[in-house]
Structure 1
Amino acid sequence: MREAEGGYDAGAGRIGAGPAAEAGLRILYLHQHFSTPAGSTATRAFQHAAALAAAGHAVTLACGRYKGAVSGLDGPWRLGRRQGRVAGFEVVEYDIRCGNAQTLGARSLAFLRFAFAAARLALTRPWDLVIASSTPPTVALPALLARRLRGTPFIYEVRDPWPELPEALSDMPREAGGQQRRVPQPVLAALGRLSNAACQQASVVVALTEGIARIALDRGADPERVRVLPQGADLALFHPAIPPWRPEGVGPEEVLAVYAGAHGVANGLGQLLDAAARLRGTGLRLVLVGEGAEKPALAARAAAERLPVLFLDPLPKVHLARLLAGAEVGLLCLAPVPAFAEWSAPNKLVEALAAGLPMVSNVPGRAARVLRDGGCGLTVPPGDPDSLAAALLALASDPVRRAAMGRGARITAERGMDARRIAARLVQVVEATCGHAPGRSRGGGA
C-alpha cells in the first residue's frame, strides 16, 4: 500500500507507457451519488471525471438521483434515464431516487436498482476500464460482472467501508442513536463477501484514508495495488477571500460556528445541541446545514429548548463557500464510534479548512492529527459536551487565536487537499492501470 504520487506506475512500468498513452481510454465511471458543484453533495467524482476527460479519455459517468445532488442534466426522461454532456464527459442519469432521509429498505432497493441498471450499461458497450466508487458497495456488482464476462479491468474506490460502517453503527448504544437501523446479519455477511471480491479482483483499490486502505488489505487486496487518494476541496471556490454571506437575522456581533453535512445517526449531532445548551447568552451561534433522518428531531429539540442553533437546508457549493467565508469557526462532529477515528474523510473538514476556518472537532485519529499538525483547530473527546462548549468559547473569545488557526487551516488545505492535484493523481493511476493491467485487451474484452 502506498499513496499515489506523480510518476508512480500502478503496475511495473512508467506512466505514459503502453496503450493508455497511445489513444484515449473508454472509461465507465459508476457513482450513484454523483453531483456537479451546483448541488450540495460531494463533487469528487465530478472533479475526477472532468480531469480524465481533459486528459483525452472518453468518460461516461452513470449515476442516480441523489437528494441534494445536481447532475447537470435537465432534459426529459426516457425509459427511466436521461443523458448528456457535462464538463467534457457523458453523464447517464437513472431515475432512481436515493437520500439520507430514506428508510433502510428504500435505500437498499435504490442501491440494487442502480446496480442492475449500471450492469446493463457495463455489459453492452466496449469499455477499457470501469471505475466503481462506493458508497454504496453494490456499485461493485457491475464492475465484477464486466470483469468476469468481458475481461474489463476495474478500479474500486472505497469512500466508506462496508459492512464495517453499518456494523459499527449497530454497536452504538441505543441512547446514542444506534440500534435503530440495524442491518440484518445475513445482509452484512453478503456485503462482506461482495467487499472481499471487489478488493481482491480490482486492478487497483483507491481508499480515501489509510484506515480504509488497511480494511481493503484485510479483505485480500494486493498491497501493491492499493492507493490512498485523500479527500480534496476546490481551493478556488472555497477561499477565505471570496465575498462572505451570513444568514438573515444573524447579528454582525455573533460568532458563527458552521457544521455542513449529513444529519444522520452516524453524525451524532445531538452532541452539538448538548454543547449549544451550555452556550446560551455567549453570543455564539451554531449553524447546521444539510439534511438527514435525524434533522426533524434535532430541529424540534432546538426550538423547544430555545438553543442558539440555526438550521439551514442543503446549500449549493457556491453558496456554502460564501457561508463559510462569513463564519468564524468550522465544526466537525461524528457519533462516538471508535472505528470512525481512522475511516472518516469528510468533505466538511477539507472545505472548511480551504475556507480558512479554525476547526472544533470531536473526531479523534486522522482528523485530530490534521488539526494538530496544522495548528488549525481544537479536538475534544467524543461524547463530551462540556469540552465541546469550552473549545467553542475559547475560539469565540480569542479573535487573534482564531486568525492564526485560520491561516494554518488554509495552508494545510493548500499543501495536501487540492482537489485538482488529487484528480491528476487519479488520472495517473488510471493510465498506469490500463497500460499494465494483466490480460488487458482493447475494447474491454469485446
Structure 2
Amino acid sequence: MRAASQSKGTKGLRITYLHQYFNTPDMSGGTRSYEMARRLVARGHEVNMVTSWRSQDGAKKPFVTVEDGIRVHWLPVPYSNTMRYSQRLVAFARFVMASAKLAAKLPSDIVFATSTPLTIALPGVFAARRRRVPMVFEVRDLWPELPIAIGALRNPLAIRAARALERFAYRNAAHVVALSPGMRDGVVQAGYPTNQVSVIPNSADLSLFDPAGVDTQAFRRLHPELEQRPLVVYTGTMGKINGVRYLVDVAAAARDRASEACFVVVGSGQQEEVVRQAACEAGVLDRNFFLYPPVPKRDMPQVLAAADLALSLFVDLPAMWANSANKFFDALASGTPVAINYGGWQADWLHKTGAGLALPPQDTKTAAEEIDQWLARPRAERQKAGGAARALAEQEFSRDDLAARLAEILESVAVGGASPLGAGSS
C-alpha cells in the first residue's frame, strides 16, 4: 500500500464508498449507507459515494450532489424491484462498468464496497487496485445462496460463476463486514479467515424513531378507513423473497376469527400485483387488509408509531434466517413490538427480551390466532414489550455505536495497509 495512506493516520481518510442502491432519507428504502457515510464525514473523513440514479426520468449523464457532507456520484442506471431477473443482470453489468471507471479516478485511501448485488465487488476490486489501496467488503446477503435457494439462479454455469465471484470478492478484501452472525459464518465457510470478519448488523436510528416525539395518530388521519382498529404493519419491499402473500392468508384467517385487527402493507415491489390480486380474491382487500405506496424514510416513524405490531416477513427458507432486515431495526427503535415468521438470530433476541413474537412460517391460521391473542393482552403488557424493543435497540443496535465500529475498521485497515488475500491474482 502507498505510504500516503499509512502516514495520514486515522483522521481525514479519503473513502470511496460503493453502493448501487444508496438512498437518502427523502427516498424510500434502506438508508444504512447514508447513515454510515454521514457519520464517517462527521468523524473527519471525506466520503465519495458511488451509486446509481434508478429513476426512469430520462437522465443520461452522471451528476453529483452533496448529502449531509457526502459527495454522491449518481450514475443513471434505471432499476426497480419489478424488473425480471434478466433485466436486473443487465442493470448490474451497466453499473459495474460505469462505477469501475468512475471509482478508479477518485483519490482514495480505502475502498468500501457494499453488496447487494455481489457484482459490486468488481468495481471495488478494480478501483482498489488502480488506487493501490485496500478494499473492505460488506456482505448484506449471502449471495449466491439466496438466489439459488429461491430458484432465481438455476443454470449450473451461472451458479459456478456466482460462486467464483463470491470467492473473488473475499480473496481481494482486506476485511469483510457481515450484517449478521449467520452471514459471518457463511463467509468463513467460503474460506475467509475468521479474524478478518466483523459483524455489524443493520442498526437502529434512535433519534429518527424516538417514540417520545412522534404523532401516533398522524398515519391514521391520513387513512381514516383504518379507524382505531389494531394495526399490524409490514413496511418494505414486496419481492419474491419477502413472501408478503403470507400476510394475505393471515388476514383471511383473522377475518374468519372475527378479529378487529387491520393488516397494513406500506411498500411496493415485484409481487405487489400478486399480493393485491390474492387479497382481492380472498375478500380482504380494503376490509382488513390495506396496501399503501412506499413512504420516504423520514415519514416512516409515523407509520410505526401507529402500529400495534410491526412485521418482518420472508419466505420459509432457512437461508433467510441470517437476514438483517432494516424494518426489524426500525421497529425496535420506534418502540414497536415486532413479529417475524422465521427463525434464527432475530427470533432469539425476541424470545430473550420479550420484544415481540415469532410466528409459524406456514400455518397462517395459527399465526392469526397468535396475533389476536397478543393484541388482546392488557395494554400494560403490550407497552412493556414496546419498551423492551426500544431497550434492545439502545443496548445492542445503536446506529451511532455500530457506525463507530465500522469507522474503526476502515481506519485500521487504511492505516495498517492490510494486503488483500491473493492480491494481484485473477
TM-score if structure 2 supplies the norm length? Answer: 0.91
Per the alignment, residue 329 of structure 2 pairs with 350
CA positional deviation for 1:119:
0.7
Query: Is the aligned partner of 1:421 residue 2:397?
Result: no
Listed as ranges, the matches of 1:171-182 within 5 Å are 181-182=152-153
Aligned partners of 1:125 and 1:43: how far apart in 2? 23
3-state secondary structure, aligned to 2:211: coil
Aligned partners of 1:133 and 1:53: how far apart in 2? 18
Per the alignment, residue 364 of structure 1 pairs with 343
- Partner deviation per Cα, 1:150-180 (whole Å, 9 max, x = no partner): 422101000011101101112xxxxxxxxxx
Per the alignment, residue 7 of structure 1 pairs with none
Query: Is the aligned partner of 1:268 residue 2:243?
Result: yes
Query: Is the aligned partner of 1:282 residue 2:259?
Result: yes
Listed as ranges, the matches of 1:319-398 within 5 Å are 319-341=299-321, 343-398=322-377
Is the Cα contact below 8 Å between 1:27 and 1:128 reproduced in 2? yes
Is the Cα contact below 8 Å between 1:82 and 1:93 reproduced in 2? yes
CA positional deviation for 1:439:
5.9
Structure 1, unpaired ranges of 5+: 1-16, 69-73, 171-180, 441-446
CA positional deviation for 1:182:
4.1
3-state secondary structure, aligned to 1:97: coil
Letter in 1 for 2:93: L
Aligned partners of 1:373 and 1:20: how far apart in 2? 44
Per the alignment, residue 243 of structure 1 pairs with 215
Aligned partners of 2:282 and 2:417: how far apart in 1? 59
1:268–1:19: structure 2 CA closer, same or farther, 3 Å change rule? same
3-state secondary structure, aligned to 1:279: helix
Is the Cα contact below 8 Å between 1:34 and 1:63 reproduced in 2? yes
Q: Which moved more, 1:247-256 or 1:223-232?
A: 247-256
Q: Which moved more, 1:218-227 or 1:89-98?
A: 218-227
Is the Cα contact below 8 Å between 2:231 and 2:261 reproduced in 1? yes
Is the Cα contact below 8 Å between 1:364 and 1:381 reproduced in 2? no
Per the alignment, residue 293 of structure 1 pairs with 270
Corresponding residue to 1:54 among 30, 42, 51? 42
3-state secondary structure, aligned to 1:250: helix
Aligned partners of 1:427 and 1:257: how far apart in 2? 36
Corresponding residue to 1:224 among 187, 190, 195? 195
1:139–1:361: structure 2 CA closer, same or farther, 3 Å change rule? same
Is the Cα contact below 8 Å between 1:52 and 1:427 reproduced in 2? yes
Corresponding residue to 2:69 among 72, 88, 107? 88
Is the Cα contact below 8 Å between 1:200 and 1:219 reproduced in 2? no
Corresponding residue to 1:27 among 5, 10, 15? 15
Letter in 2 for 1:222: P
Is the Cα contact below 8 Å between 1:32 and 1:66 reproduced in 2? no
Is the Cα contact below 8 Å between 1:289 and 1:311 reproduced in 2? yes
- Partner deviation per Cα, 1:80-121 (whole Å, 9 max, x = no partner): 211021111210001111121111111111111111111102
Aligned partners of 1:169 and 1:29: how far apart in 2? 29
Per the alignment, residue 424 of structure 2 pairs with none
- Partner deviation per Cα, 1:382-405 (whole Å, 9 max, x = no partner): 111022101210122123321121
Aligned partners of 1:58 and 1:222: how far apart in 2? 29
Is the Cα contact below 8 Å between 1:19 and 1:434 reproduced in 2? no
3-state secondary structure, aligned to 1:403: helix
Letter in 1 for 2:275: L
Aligned partners of 1:319 and 1:401: how far apart in 2? 27
Per the alignment, residue 88 of structure 2 pairs with 107
Aligned partners of 1:67 and 1:315: how far apart in 2? 16
Per the alignment, residue 45 of structure 1 pairs with 33
1:123–1:411: structure 2 CA closer, same or farther, 3 Å change rule? same
Query: Is the aligned partner of 1:97 residue 2:65?
Result: no
Aligned partners of 2:167 and 2:122: how far apart in 1? 12
Aligned partners of 1:235 and 1:23: how far apart in 2? 26
Aligned partners of 1:151 and 1:303: how far apart in 2? 57
1:439–1:230: structure 2 CA closer, same or farther, 3 Å change rule? closer
Query: Is the aligned partner of 1:123 residue 2:104?
Result: yes
Percent identity, aligned pairs only, is 33
Letter in 2 for 1:212: M
Aligned partners of 2:155 and 2:266: how far apart in 1? 31
RMSD of the TM alignment (CA)? 2.0
Aligned partners of 1:266 and 1:371: how far apart in 2? 22
3-state secondary structure, aligned to 1:291: coil
Structure 2, unpaired ranges of 5+: 421-426
Letter in 2 for 1:419: R
Q: Give the count of matched residue pairs.
A: 406
Is the Cα contact below 8 Å between 2:226 and 2:262 reproduced in 1? no
Aligned partners of 1:126 and 1:283: how far apart in 2? 58
3-state secondary structure, aligned to 1:263: coil
Per the alignment, residue 146 of structure 1 pairs with 127
Is the Cα contact below 8 Å between 1:276 and 1:286 reproduced in 2? yes
Per the alignment, residue 191 of structure 1 pairs with 162
Corresponding residue to 2:230 among 255, 263, 272? 255
CA positional deviation for 1:56:
1.5
TM-score if structure 1 supplies the norm length? Answer: 0.87
**Moved runs in structure 1, 4+ residues, more than 4 A?**
none
CA positional deviation for 1:67:
6.4
Is the Cα contact below 8 Å between 1:25 and 1:57 reproduced in 2? yes
1:359–1:28: structure 2 CA closer, same or farther, 3 Å change rule? same
